[in-house]
Structure 1
Amino acid sequence: MWVSQRSGLFSGVAALACATVLLEITLTRIFAALFGGPYAFLALALAPFGAGVGGVLLHLAPSIARPPSLFARMAALSSFASGATLAAVILLAQRGAAAGPAPRSLLWLALLYAASAVPFALAGLAVAAAIRHAAAEMPRLHLLSLVGGALGGLAAAAALRAGAPRAALAAAIFFAVAGVFFYLASRVREDEPRASGGLVATFVLGSAVLLAGDVGAPWLRLTGLRGAAPELESWSDQALITVERARAGTAWMRRDGAGASAILAAKTRPPPQPEDMAYALHRDRGPVLVVGAGGGRDLRAALKAGQKEVYAVEESRDVVEAMRGRYAEFSGHLFDRPEVRVAVTDGRSFIRRTPLRFRHIVIASTDAPAGSTAGALALSESRLHTLEGLSDFLARLSPEGTLVVTRADGDFDRLLSLAAAALRRAGAGAPGDHLFGCGAAKQTALLVKRAPLARAEIDALRRHCRRHKFSEAFAPDRPRTPARGRLVATADARAAAPDARVDLTPPTDDRPFFSYSVPARRLPAVLGDLEALRAEHAGLSALLALLAGGSGLLALGVLLPLLAGRAGRRLGPRAAAPAPRARALLFFAAIGAGFALVGLALVRHALVLLDLPAHELPAVLVVLLVSVGGGGLRTARVAPPAAAGAAATLAALLVAAAALAAVGLVPLTQWSLGLAPFLRAALAVVLLAPVGLLAGSLAPLGVKLVASRSPALLPWCFGLSALAGAVAMALGALCAMNLGYSALLLCAGLAYLLAAAAVPPAAAAGEVAQDDEAGAQDGAGAAMSEAPPAARAAAARSGAPGA
């Protein structure tokens, strides 16, 4: 069976995009499970890094993939990407088997990261070659590649249920299938070198056999997971849920190994914890809401206190399925007891939609104390621990109701400042009179009462803490430290503790990073102390490593082609002026950075809007990628002379859209939390689709403009766009953590403003595109048109273009 070269090109690129997105999502889960949440963000940058390296490499060495060996080389690159995927996932799965401390060393982590980037670099080479030699087909190629990426997102939602290592094996199969399409297309022309059928078949059959073997007799499992060896592993696109074997009536449930939630045996009484102190005031009066049900320890504590109406919110469907399935009998069917009502959603959405008022609300922490204090969670958002979040929960309390929030000891002052600000926002004149805190085992619970605490209530709380040997951290009459007294007495946290080593300003929905606590004034000093940075701020350290590596690659991507002198030799005498070349490169770098920045902000807010537990990310990716592809398709009929004006106009519209989103996106998201799930999903589409349509038009228009003057620049432009996007991801995360998502959107607007100013000029009338690649063909259709008569006849029978 043979296919036309156009069909083979489109199908192969779509399969490459599908494999790339599937592998990228899969690696975020593997990196998070092995190394922690911050490294999942690093894995997100693998695809743009790989694509950027591939594009620049093809520009430096165009002979890697160009006619007449274009399809044969693309088939080989896709096959090697399949093999590199297999090698990377096996290496990651066995990382715990390495001797000594090597797995924890930066050198070992860099090796794993580099190995994981190889498949993306090979795929990037193939895609850059497709863009270079099929520039005239860019709108359709752009659409099909993004549709393929959307299918990869959907495939990830299904494949991850079987485990991330198996999902990576499925990605290897998709890479190999791309090689099959390119191989079939290479057979159309009789005078074109044929791809190696044996090579393609080896990786197709090899990856399929490895996946089938793992399904029949599992052999590919992650080793070296944090915590004890689990008896249960449940994968999703959100997290790896593990449960350790029960000991002394308790089994520990973890998410990506970073937190711990106790599953108590049916006959095991829940041990006293600081977050139970509110029951010393309420006893059996309810109802009670537990946010983050986890293994059910807080539900058991509420039932032990005599509560008859307990509502539980858990955002992970896997956790609920485990508690109602494998651990139902062990826990005494806790989640199915008549007093307990479980909702699978996020806490903010539930509290906004419910008409109930609660006597008591518990927001327990499952963060490992060491992780929180070491800054490992710095990149993690927490929309529960924001000024708006606590205000939402306080608004749903009955007049005498209480809210208890638990965090690690090192976070208590920050939590105290946040609670005082929320009370002040609710109208409390003296927030300190509403607060009481006590702690144990490196965790401190803060009780927030809607009404001021009476003397008898303070005494009851104090007796409760002393009886259970909890350490008192704050009371209205005993703030414990002068700084804590000032924190609750003044609205300006900076003035209350000007010399604090942590940022005490309350997190907001615009900057929902409770665990990132580095004050702006201390950021230069923290960055300058590399040893302390690695030990105390693991999340920030990982982000800076990403930024440093990305910046280095971007610099090399600019300098190496310039030093090699290739660009100047290809442009020819009439196109050798550096200004058009610089504008083309700057334009593509700006749209790459702009899309990464605006995408980072919009995807985060769209994830909040969607109420599809375990499926938010694939759904958001599908909407965004399809809309971006649709925007590219709209440019198919735009002639090159009109492309410059269209690109400038669209970039200007994106500047306006980013500015509008910076002002209104956070309030809109907050308002929407009380809407029905269908309406929120529709709103997410309304937010993503227009921006996707606008942003998706810029790359195809830029390809038209560059191809009209110097097609040889296209791989370089493609590479710089991807590398700039990867660097922008790191800068954007740093910006959001310190300044908020509104500032991030303004930065995206600046990037698109730069793109509007740097739109490359179209070729003048009668100007011929310059290219020094002798005999190169600019497109699959052109290559077919020059085939011998016999080959053209065969191509006509197969439906090939140009026949």
Structure 2
Amino acid sequence: MNRPPFIAIGLLAACVLAYEVLLTRLFSIVLWHHFAYMIISAAMLGYGASGTVLTLLKEKTAPHFGALYVAAAAALAVLMPSAFWLAQQVPFNPLELLWDQTQPVKLLAVYLLMMLPFFCGGLGIGLVFSHFGKQSSRIYAFDILGAGAGSLGVIGLLFLAPPSKVLSILTAVAMLASAIAIVELKMRPRWLMGLFLGLAVLALTLPAIPVRPSPYKDLSQAMDIVGARMVEERSSPLGQIAVVENTRVPLRDAPGMSLNATSEPPPQLGVFVDGNGPSALTKFDGKLAPLAYLDQLTSALPYHVIPDHGSKGRRVLVLGAGAGSDVLQALYHGSSAIDAVELDRNVTDLVRERFSDYAGNLYSRPGVHVYEAEARGFVNASRERYDLIQLALMDSFGTASAGLYGLSENYLYTVEGMQAYMNRLTPGGMLAVTRWLTLPPRDALKLFATAVSALEKSGVSDPARRLVMIRGWKTVTLLVKNGDFTAHEIGAIRRFCRARSFDTAWYPGMRAIDANRYNRLAQPYFYEGAVALLGLQRQEFIDKYKFYIEPATDDRPHFFRFFKWDAAEEIFSLREQGGMALFDWSYPLLVATLLQAIAASVLLILAPLAFSRCRRNLPTAPVALYFLAIGFAFMFMEIAFIQKFVLFLSHPLYAVAVVLCAFLAFAAVGSWLAGRSQAANKVTFAVTGLGAIAVFYLAILPDLFQQLIHLPDSAKIIISVLLIAPLAMCMGVPFPTGMTWLAGVREGAIPWAWAINGFASVVGAVLATLLAIHLGFAAVILLSVLIYGLAAAAMWRFAR
């Protein structure tokens, strides 16, 4: 065995990284968001624990290298589907985390199950490195090449097959890696190769592991209703689409429809994305009269305010068109030109092809133009001007009101996003945004504060004259006008609300007596909030408010984050009175994940070394600080850039795959260059370089993304990789340099250095997300630079 199993290593690394990316898609379906921070942390824990095991059992594993490597690859193949299947059997429900004492244990069980495949993958790769140490550079090249191919290749596979089937494909590839390793290592008996090839084929032919959404997700609840049946399913990296029909208990989707309404919706199909929804696919025969119910929604307000320009008609842009409800609303109100933008092609294809007759060929009608694009990218690239830009109500009420989106980035509702929309309005044109009504007010006031900030940053001296907000019993609609509202328009707004028993929350010149008339609250909270957000004491009001309603920005795009530590104790004290509905569970989940990451990494990485002979070789404080710092700093930089590239690449899954691939590949290049360099202060040079690049990127990336966001996905992926490359190359220098130095002066401390770095990586993946939500991505990147600086100082100290 003079030659490492290069091809097998590449396939194994591809499986591990592809599985890491795939889990973000699978957990998005099973739960409510991609859980990327938890998955990356679990992956690092698996790798770290495998390194500890190899360190402790080095002498025992050496004679059995070939068999152990094949066993590790085969175990990875078995554990990828089985660990995910077992994780689905754990009755973990994030909504019960704060009052069910067993939920933290169940979360830990899910975390450890997710770690197991990565442990096997890390064990296999680590075995090869330890056995063929003199060929590490070539092994590393195949390892990184495979990892990059896997993280990007899984995106292509998700376009061709549903996530459950992709999981089967990865299982087959891992079995293939075992078979190829037997050939490359010239192992006997040779029939083992045939066995693993047969198992690879079997993995492709067996039924895929079922992916079951949580019973608390909207799709699960809809399918529990008698008469429900699924009539269509489609899948892509952007989402798993399910269309549900129920003729016995028909869907009636009309969000926040006036209680005065006498008409009802026509027959509808429910369209669910990743189990969330539904949005309505409405039966349409070309006649407008059955669509009268759409005039009874708060979102119909702008059509009663904006003139139709006679024969010219209104020009309307619908962002997040989905199955077409907002397009139907625009048609009902006589709009002559409607541009509908939807990111997921599967959704528009349902309307244009599979259900074209049912939908009345809605997306092929004269004047209706459908664009498959990300909303911000389309707006930035467009040169058209619109009388109305309608931002559709895209999330379901259940997920929006239960704090399920608290960790999710959303660039639609940021200050910069609103500025982009307003730049595409005609003189007198309006932006209309409809949100679910939550009590006490959260979404609506945060949206209002964001609009005020966007107007001020656009040079508007008196935002109060350009804003209108109304509320029904379940929805809130905000209008932002490109110009001041006139007395005639305000009269139309009041008549619209009076006829439908909607309440005005703000319009220019509004008095307190005009608020809170129909859907009465203890106080006119929405009006009082709007007045405070328009006043001179705005920041004081925001700071003292029980919920976090600071305007969302592209640097802190967590629009659905309302949690404040100051109010947590008060809300928690109300849990027995139903107050837990006000608690954003995503924060406790994140904190619980952080605590379990610390506990698991101590138990699986640090503790085994502490109770072994390695405890005699404890590193000095500067050495420990160095490896701890570079572990935290690397993960902080990586996680922050993953989240920062979500806007540019249009989807979290793309960002995870591309950014992970680029960081790994070019960090490997930096590591290789560091090994060839004889410079004594290469860590200082690398840290100085990455600091300069990071600060430069913080200055240019917002404008650069805005200019390039309209480009095709392939072009944006290439640009992203090129942007990350120089930064990642610098970040690849500190770790191998520190290891090389340590090998020359105190080799016995290497296991501890590996373990300390692994501990920091596991904890840093979760901690970076927590800090990004609180401080913003820019702050996390700057913090990473400072920690790298601390590492450079520690290196200077112990190198002396």
Matched, 1:493 2:538: yes
Are 1:652 and 2:688 counterparts? yes
Q: Which moved more, 1:477-486 or 1:726-735?
A: 477-486
Q: Which runs of 5+ in 2 are unaligned?
A: 224-229, 252-266, 516-523
The answer on 1:701 being equivalent to 2:737 is yes
Q: Is the 8 A contact 2:213 2:275 kept in 1?
A: no
For residue 529 of structure 2, what is the amino acid of its counterpart? R
Alignment partner of 1:450 out of 473, 482, 488: 482
Contact 1:658 1:748 in 2 (8 A): no
Checking the alignment, whether the CA contact within 8 Å between 1:369 and 1:443 is kept in structure 2 is: no
Equivalent in the alignment of 1:27: 23
Letter of the aligned partner of 2:391 in structure 1? I
- Return the offset for 1:321: 2.7
Q: Report what 2:115 is aligned to.
A: 117
Query: How far apart are 1:501 and its partner, in Å?
Result: 0.9
- Is structure 2 residue 198 aligned with structure 1 residue 205? yes
8 A Cα contact 2:605 2:758, kept in partner: no
Gaps of 5+ in 1: 189-193, 570-575, 765-803
- 2:528 and 2:233 map into 1 onto residues whose CA distance is 44
Displacement of 1:632: 2.9
- Structure 1 distance, partners of 2:178, 2:553, is 48
Name the stretch that deviates more: 522-531 or 538-547.
522-531
CA 1:171–1:682: 2 relative to 1, 3 Å? closer
**1:292 equivalent among 308, 320, 328:** 320
Q: How much identity, in percent, do the aligned residues show? A: 26
Q: Which residue of structure 2 aligns with residue 367 of structure 1?
A: 395
Are 2:364 and 1:332 aligned?
no
2-structure distance, mates of 1:501, 1:53: 42
Match of 1:513 among 531, 539, 558: 558
Matched, 1:401 2:429: yes
Q: 1:305 to 1:667 in 2, by over 3 A?
A: same
For 2:793, the equivalent position in structure 1 comes to 757
* Separation (CA, whole Å) in 2 of partners of 1:202 and 1:92: 28
Going from structure 1 to structure 2, the CA distance change for 1:734 and 1:529 (only over 3 Å counts) comes to farther
* Cα displacement (A) at 1:129: 3.0
In the alignment, the residues of structure 2 paired with residue 524 and residue 517 of structure 1 have an alpha-carbon distance, to the nearest angstrom, of 15
1:467 is aligned, of 499, 521, 525, to 499
TM-score, scaled relative to structure 1: 0.83
Q: Say whether 1:236 aligns with 2:244.
A: no
Partner of 1:688 in structure 2? 724
Shift of residue 444 of structure 1?
1.3
1:11 equivalent to 2:11? Answer no
Which range moves more in the overlay, 20-29 or 238-247?
Answer: 238-247
Residue 383 of structure 1 corresponds to which residue in structure 2?
A: 411
Q: CA deviation at 1:547?
A: 0.8
Describe the shift of the 1:137–1:584 C-alpha distance in structure 2 as closer, same or farther (beyond 3 A).
Answer: farther
Match for residue 282 of structure 1 among 297, 306, 322? 306
Cα 1:719/1:318, change in 2 over 3 Å: farther
Contact residue 337 and residue 368 of structure 2 kept, 8 A: yes
Bigger CA drift: 678-687 or 462-471? 678-687
CA distance in 1, matches of 2:662, 2:737: 22
**Cα separation, partners in 2 of 1:539 and 1:664, compared to 1, 3 Å:** same
| Structure 2 counterparts to residues 412-423 of structure 1, below 5 A | 412-423=444-455
Tell me the distance in 2 between the aligned counterparts of 1:534 and 1:603. Answer: 30
Contact 1:29–1:40 (Cα < 8 Å) also in 2 = no
Partner of 1:779: none
Matched pairs, number = 737
Distance 1:432 1:64 in 2: 74
Q: Which residue identity is paired with 1:413?
A: L
1:334-733 → structure 2 map (5 Å cutoff):
334-410=362-438, 411-440=443-472, 442-476=474-508, 477-478=510-511, 480=515, 481=524, 483-490=528-535, 493-519=538-564, 521-522=566-567, 536-556=583-603, 559-568=606-615, 576=617, 578-579=619-620, 583-610=622-649, 618-638=657-677, 642=678, 645-673=681-709, 683-709=719-745, 714=750, 716-733=752-769
Asked whether the equivalents of residues 290 and 312 of structure 1 are also in contact (C-alpha less than 8 Å), the reply is yes
Match of 2:170 in 1: 171
**Would the alpha carbon gap of residues 645 and 727 (structure 1) be closer, same or farther in structure 2, given more than 3 Å must change?**
same
> Alpha-carbon deviation of 1:711?
5.5
How far the C-alpha of 1:360 sits from its partner, in A, is 0.3
How much has 1:604 moved relative to structure 2?
3.1
For the 8 Å contact 2:658–2:720, the answer to whether it is kept is no
Instruction: Describe the SS at the equivalent of 1:362.
Output: strand
Q: Which residue of 2 aligns with 1:771?
A: none
**What's the CA shift for 1:28?**
1.2
Structure 2: how far apart are the matches of 1:276 and 1:593? 50
Which secondary structure state, in structure 1, belongs to the residue aligned with residue 3 of structure 2? helix
Paired residues of 1:135 and 1:703 also in contact (CA < 8 A): no
Question: What is the alpha-carbon distance in structure 1 between the residues aligned to residue 103 and residue 196 of structure 2?
Answer: 32
Please give the secondary structure, in 2, of the residue aligned with 1:422. helix
CA apart distance, 1:126: 2.3
User: 8 Å contact 1:702–1:760 — kept in the other structure?
Assistant: no
Match of 2:226 in 1: none
Over 3 Å counting, the alpha-carbon distance change for 1:700 and 1:238 in structure 2 is farther
* AA at the equivalent of 1:70: F
Report deviation, 1:674. Answer: 6.8
Contact 2:555–2:644 under 8 Å retained in 1: no
Q: Helix, strand or coil for the counterpart of 2:354? A: coil
| Contact 1:159–1:166 under 8 Å retained in 2 | no
**Secondary structure in 2 matching 1:502:** coil
1:746 to 782, 785, 789: 782
Cα offset for 1:652? 3.2
Q: How much does 1:86 deviate? A: 2.7
Change (3 A) 1:675 1:88: closer
1:73 paired residue among 64, 68, 76? 68
AA aligned to 1:242 is A
Could you tell me how far 1:441 is from its partner in structure 2?
Answer: 5.4
Query: What CA distance in whole angstroms lies between the structure 2 residues aligned with 1:115 and 1:333?
Result: 47
Q: 1:304 to 1:388 in 2, by over 3 A?
A: same
- For residues 371 and 456 of structure 1, do their structure 2 counterparts lie closer, same or farther at Cα, with a shift above 3 Å needed? same
Quote the Cα distance in structure 2 between the aligned partners of 1:50 and 1:629. Answer: 20
1:379 counterpart SS class: coil
| Matched residue SS, 1:294 | coil
Take 2:356 and 2:749, find their aligned partners in 1: how far apart are those partners? 61
38 and 167 in structure 1: CA distance in 2 versus 1, 3 angstrom threshold: closer
Cα offset, 1:679, TM superposition: 7.1
The answer to whether residue 217 in structure 2 is matched with residue 222 in structure 1 is no
Partner of 2:772: 736
- Change in 2 beyond 3 A, CA 1:565/1:110: closer
Look up the SS of the partner of 1:399 in the other structure. strand
How far apart are the structure 2 equivalents of 1:730 and 1:282?
A: 47
User: Aligned in 2, Cα 1:432/1:91: closer, same or farther, shift over 3 Å?
Assistant: same
Does residue 52 (structure 1) correspond to residue 80 (structure 2)? The answer is: no
Shift of 1:431: 2.1
Tell me, in whole angstroms, the C-alpha distance in 1 between the residues paired with 2:148 and 2:452: 44
Could you say which residue in structure 1 is the equivalent of 2:518? Answer: none
Does the CA contact (< 8 Å) of 1:483 and 1:496 recur in 2?
no
Flag the 1:525–1:559 CA change in 2: closer, same or farther, 3 A: farther
Partners of 1:763 and 1:133 in 2: CA distance? 29
SS of residue matched to 1:282? coil
Alpha-carbon shift at residue 672 of structure 1 (Å):
4.3
Cα distance, 1:199–1:35 mapped onto 2, change above 3 Å: farther
The higher-RCO structure (CA 8 Å, 6+ apart) is 1
